[in-house]
Amino acid sequence: MNRRDFFKIVATTGATAAAGGCQQATEQILPLVVPNEQLVPGVASWFATVCRECPAGCGVLARNRDGRVVKLEGNPDHPVNGGSLCARGQAALQGLYHPDRFVGPQRREGDAFTPLGWEDALKLVSDRLAAVRSKPRTLAVVSQLETGSLGALLDRWLQALGGRPRLTLEPFGYEAIRAANRATFGRDAVPYHAFEDAEVILSFGADFLETWISNGQAARGFARAHTFRDGKAGTFIHVEPRQSLTASNADEWVRNAPGTETAVALAVLKLMLEGGGTGDKRYADAVAAIEPRKVAEDSGVPLETLQRIARAFGSARPGLAVGGGVAVTGSHATSLQIAVNLLNVAAGNVGKTVRFGPDHAYGRVTPYAEVAKLVQAMAAGEIEVLVLGPGVNPAFTLPGGLKAGEAIAKVPFVVSFANLPDETTALAHLVLPDTHWLESWGDYSPHEGVLGLMQPTMKPVRDARPLGDVLLAAGRAALGTEEGKGPLPWSTFEQYLRSVWEPLVKGQWEAALQQGGLWRDAGAAAVTPKIERVDAAAAKLEGAGDGLALLPYPSLRFYDGRSATRAWLQEVPDPVTQVAWDAWVELNTETAARLGIQRGDVVRVTSPHGAIELPAYPSASIHPAAVAIPIGHHYAPYHVRLKYVPGSGTANPMALLPAAADATSGAPAFLSVKVTLARTGARRPLAVLQATHDQDHREIAQHVELARAREEALRGAAREDARPSMYSEQHYKTYRWGMTVDVDACIGCQACAVACQAENNVPVVGKAEAAYGRQVHWLRVERWADGDPGQPHNTFLPMFCQHCEVAPCEPVCPVFAAYRTEEGLNGQVYNRCVGTRYCGNNCPYHVRRFNWWNYEIPAPLDVQLNPDVTVRQLGVMEKCTMCIQRIVAGKDHARDEKRAVRDGDILTACQQTCPTKAITFGNLKDEGSAVSKQRHSPRAYHVLDELGTRPGVTYLRKVVRAAPASRPGKGHA
């Protein structure tokens, strides 16, 4: 039985157990006094469900121990994420167990909430609903993207009650892609981008490794296309004014002037056509007006670079051009997407790497223009009852110019189903907390052919009821119908869900639950491109002439803000800037010098629509004419208890944006204002968790040129770690555990860091402590930058305990708390540790973490603690254990089958969640194991090898494309 079968079997038993007992809203965190016979104490059950932290809809397996979910992992069978899970998905547990979660229905009186019973709350709602039935179109429902049964039920409910059509509010709707596809292909859809099949990926601001459409899926595909394997590696060129995480991973990051993406794309197309390509005259006409030399001048991208891009993209079989990340979505967004379409069409990529059918669920997001209309209707007093589903926070996520908060405040009755307080619940009259998605039934289809099925993975942590159940009951009461009759006959949402799924599963309900849904081949749709001239105009920017273009971009960690309440995500730093906790305004060092701004100075950013105050983060890489602010930073009351005190006012750059939608696509124009910066005189030092990105010639992050890597791979030149020693070798009986990290594959997404935190009970320490080098992360992802600081070559390096064979930490420990195990691990006995911290000084990698305080884990977050891992006490040292608890479980499992541990029996938490499969764990004694093979790869190296520590963790050099002359910094001989 392999691991997947194991999951399936336990998921079945678990699912049956859950199906039995999840209807009643008995709220007990340790639920079972008389144990359910299927629940074995100490043995985990795994439940398959769908992650609802963003619209990507990744499959999730929830690990349930003794009635409590303690860890999430990607569902290996799921077509979208194939077992990986991003940082936000990993941190969903902190939403489930959030200390600020509402307990039962809450009625707002003044600024404070008072609890009330469910019956009273339901009566309040149904009375209101009954009252507005006579006034059509005064009832509005706003939900997040719900492509499954809940959406259908909401629509049906609205129809029955005579409300307005449901609004799906997704702040990042990628409407320009749909608009462009309507224009080019006559299809209103977001297609599937097959990154995995592309030889050359050319991106115009599409931050597909962060949030763009389906970042987990894109990262998996990108890794397959781009990671060096069998002597081959794809090329990735990224055009963006700011060095985003995606740009940091590009082989060539091209910095263009903000808003010039369309012109650059068209110039590339023109140069590509000039260099050969199709003889189709329509293309030549489409780009006839483009003068590459002029484009080069306007965009600041040298002509040679444009030519190089054109050559590379034109020769790729196939390539893939993508465009339009949020930060570059302005008035030119649709023309950019059309230009991207033309590039893909001209290069023959449509149908290969750009596939219509399966279309992405984003195609069903309500256009922003409709949302704006509803807000206007609210402001005009046309809405009597506003129902807000979970996951929507219009007062925070909509452009400030729209004044959505003021509009909502004018609605006489606002019901919110959010389970955590936010800017919008502060305006709601009634909060009926929905169950968290890990406690709920449901389904979600991220794209055609993938029907994800959700089931409760545990009983609700707090008094909460499923949105569907509440609406059914309230709707029936308002309509005066009974259960089983009328338009809303179902007693519960689960019943409705089953009735919808019955024709699909045909009795195989439990099989679908185990698998996490149904996957089918979606029919590919043939499309005929229409080739027309494209307007190459740059994005129109509103505001002072000498202002700086504002690039608001979705945070990799918080998406539009819905994940920001998770303290794990607040503390794991942004991978590029390495800033934790705070939001910041990134500006060019030249601009900063001109304005006398230093890192940490609070700067007032003023646009024609608003102003916010944020600490400054000068960087050499951002375009001098731009400033960038991450979207989504806001904080929960729990964060204040962690001694994080946010600055006054919002930190969200959405507050600076205009209300108007872009005329062609109907999308909000994110890149649409120029801002001015002014020092306020205040200081708010940022928590930057990496002291420097310059490795000072220490060869920590190493690289090798593609040609050389290819040659070495062919020759199979193995590098042995043959450092002579006076001492006898350590002998290992059966196992020597080791890891390899393919630095070429690592994209720096921080998923591993959060997974580690979730698995190993790593505490959150708060901003001040983290800024002072006291974060407890066992695993940190470092960004090392070589070369010109303005256009650095970046390498992301996950750093954790290296489990050295000759470990500097071990001999210095006076009490043997740090010791070497027989299986090659560097053990740490917490009970023995006295806290002299000598090991922490002597570890050259500084991966040992000290418990400076007793870290508070407020209830009910403590329920999430992994029962297999010790919670450490004040005054002891800790560090990565290579998930020793998983090693023990894996060995037990193998022993039960009377065999040795094989590859795949044990996956460490970081390895399991990695979307690019950069981390490999296994037995170094077994020459056939994947980890042994990688350890003997020609690309293998050890960090700070010259110290003779003989680490158990091997890194594989990053493979770089650039010629050596253009790449200063140290390559390894």
Partner 1 sequence: MTDEPRPRPIAGGAPAGGAVPEPTFADVNRDVLATLGPPGNLYFAWMCVVGLILACGILAWTYQIYFGMGAAGKRTPQMWAMYITTFVFWIGIGHAGTLISAVLYLFRARWRTSIYRAAEAMTIFAVLTAGLFPLIHAGRMWFAYFLLPYPNQRYLWPNFKSPLVWDVFAISTYLSISTVFFIVGLVPDVAALRDASTGWRRRVFAMLSLGWEGSDRQWRHYRRAYGLFAALATPLVLSVHSVVSWDFAMALVPGWHSTLFAPFFVDGAIFSGFAMVLVLVLPMRHFFGLHAYIRDRHLDAMAKLILVTGLVLTYFYACEAFTSWYSGDHFEKASLFWRLTGSYWWALGTMYFCNCVSPLILFWKPARTSPVILYVVSILVLIGMWFERFNIIVPSLAHDFYPATWGIYVPTITDSTIIIGSFAWFFLLFLGFIKLMPSLSIVEVKETLSAPVKDLRHAGHH
Site residues, partner 1 (CB under 8 A): 690-692, 694-698, 700, 769, 772-774, 780, 782, 799, 808, 811-816, 832-838, 840-842, 844-846, 848-854, 873-877, 944, 947
Phi-psi bin for 447: left (phi > 0), alpha (psi -120 to 50), beta?
A: beta
* Structure-block tokens of residue 282: 């329509």
Q: How many residues does the chain have?
A: 973
Helices 467-479 and 118-132, axial angle in degrees (round to 10): 50
Alpha-carbon gap, residue 404 to 401, rounded angstroms: 8
Q: Nearer Cβ to partner 1, position 641 or 902? A: 641
Minimal distance, residue 796 CB to partner 1, in Å? 12
Residue whose entry in the numeric block shows the structure tokens 């707090």:
462
Instruction: Give Cα 445 distance to the centre of its chain.
Output: 18
Alpha-carbon gap, residue 373 to 371, rounded angstroms: 5
Alpha-carbon gap, residue 952 to 940, rounded angstroms: 12
Q: Does residue 778 contact residue 847 with C-beta atoms inside 8 Å?
A: yes
Q: Does residue 168 contact residue 364 with C-beta atoms inside 8 Å?
A: yes
Query: Minimal CA–CA distance to 183: which of 403, 342, 407?
Result: 342
Q: Nearer Cβ to partner 1, position 511 or 815? A: 815
Q: Does residue 880 contact residue 739 with C-beta atoms inside 8 Å?
A: no
Minimal distance, residue 728 CB to partner 1, in Å? 16
Q: Nearer Cβ to partner 1, position 351 or 858? A: 858
Q: Nearer Cβ to partner 1, position 41 or 811? A: 811
Q: Going along 556-658, which residue ranges are E strands?
A: 579-580, 585-588, 601-607, 610-619, 626-631
Minimal distance, residue 377 CB to partner 1, in Å? 52
Instruction: Give, for 140, the enclosing helix (H) or strand (E).
Output: strand 139-143
Q: HSE, CB side, 13 Å, CA atoms: give it for residue 252.
A: 20
Minimal distance, residue 631 CB to partner 1, in Å? 27
Minimal distance, residue 753 CB to partner 1, in Å? 14
Q: Nearer Cβ to partner 1, position 594 or 643? A: 643
DSSP labels, 714-764: HHT-PPP-----SSPPP--SS--EEEEEETTT-----HHHHHHHHHTTPPP
Query: Minimal CA–CA distance to 441: which of 47, 35, 830, 804?
Result: 47
Minimal distance, residue 846 CB to partner 1, in Å? 4
Radius of gyration of the chain (CA): 28
Q: Nearer Cβ to partner 1, position 298 or 769? A: 769
Minimal distance, residue 701 CB to partner 1, in Å? 10
Q: Does residue 737 contact residue 923 with C-beta atoms inside 8 Å?
A: yes
Q: Does residue 931 contact residue 922 with C-beta atoms inside 8 Å?
A: yes
Query: Side by side, which strands form the sheet with 919-923?
Result: 919-923, 737-742, 953-956, 940-941
Minimal distance, residue 780 CB to partner 1, in Å? 7
Q: Nearer Cβ to partner 1, position 691 or 722? A: 691
Q: Does residue 575 contact residue 245 with C-beta atoms inside 8 Å?
A: yes
Q: Nearer Cβ to partner 1, position 122 or 944? A: 944
Alpha-carbon gap, residue 906 to 918, rounded angstroms: 16
Q: Nearer Cβ to partner 1, position 12 or 949? A: 949
Minimal distance, residue 599 CB to partner 1, in Å? 15
Minimal distance, residue 946 CB to partner 1, in Å? 9
Q: Nearer Cβ to partner 1, position 479 or 701? A: 701
Alpha-carbon gap, residue 845 to 825, rounded angstroms: 16
Phi-psi bin for 961: left (phi > 0), alpha (psi -120 to 50), beta?
A: alpha
Minimal distance, residue 945 CB to partner 1, in Å? 12
Output the CA torsion 177→172→200→317 (10° steps): -40
What sections of 869-957 are H helices per DSSP?
Answer: 884-896, 909-913, 930-935
Minimal distance, residue 876 CB to partner 1, in Å? 6
Q: Nearer Cβ to partner 1, position 225 or 809? A: 809
Minimal distance, residue 259 CB to partner 1, in Å? 35
Minimal distance, residue 690 CB to partner 1, in Å? 5
CA distances (Å), 856 to each of 642, 665, 862, 866, in order? 8, 48, 9, 16
Q: Nearer Cβ to partner 1, position 114 or 841? A: 841
Q: Which residues pair with 552 in a beta bridge?
A: 629
Q: Nearer Cβ to partner 1, position 889 or 944? A: 944
Minimal distance, residue 799 CB to partner 1, in Å? 7
Query: Minimal CA–CA distance to 464: which of 821, 106, 171, 718?
Result: 106
Alpha-carbon gap, residue 250 to 256, rounded angstroms: 14
* Structure-block tokens of residue 143: 């939900």
Minimal distance, residue 789 CB to partner 1, in Å? 15
Tell me the one-letter amino acid at 33: V
Q: Nearer Cβ to partner 1, position 836 or 885? A: 836
Q: Going along 332-437, which residue ranges are E strands?
A: 354-360, 385-388, 413-416, 430-431
Q: Nearer Cβ to partner 1, position 774 or 891? A: 774
Alpha-carbon gap, residue 550 to 566, rounded angstroms: 27
Instruction: Give, for 442, the enclosing helix (H) or strand (E).
Output: strand 442-444
Q: What angle do CA 621, 625, 628 make, to 5 degrees?
A: 65
Buried b (16+ CB within 10 A) or exposed e, 40-69: eeeebbbbbbbbbbbbbbbbbbbbbbbbbb
Q: Nearer Cβ to partner 1, position 294 or 832? A: 832
Minimal distance, residue 942 CB to partner 1, in Å? 13
Q: Nearer Cβ to partner 1, position 224 or 780? A: 780
Q: Nearer Cβ to partner 1, position 810 or 868? A: 810
Minimal distance, residue 854 CB to partner 1, in Å? 6
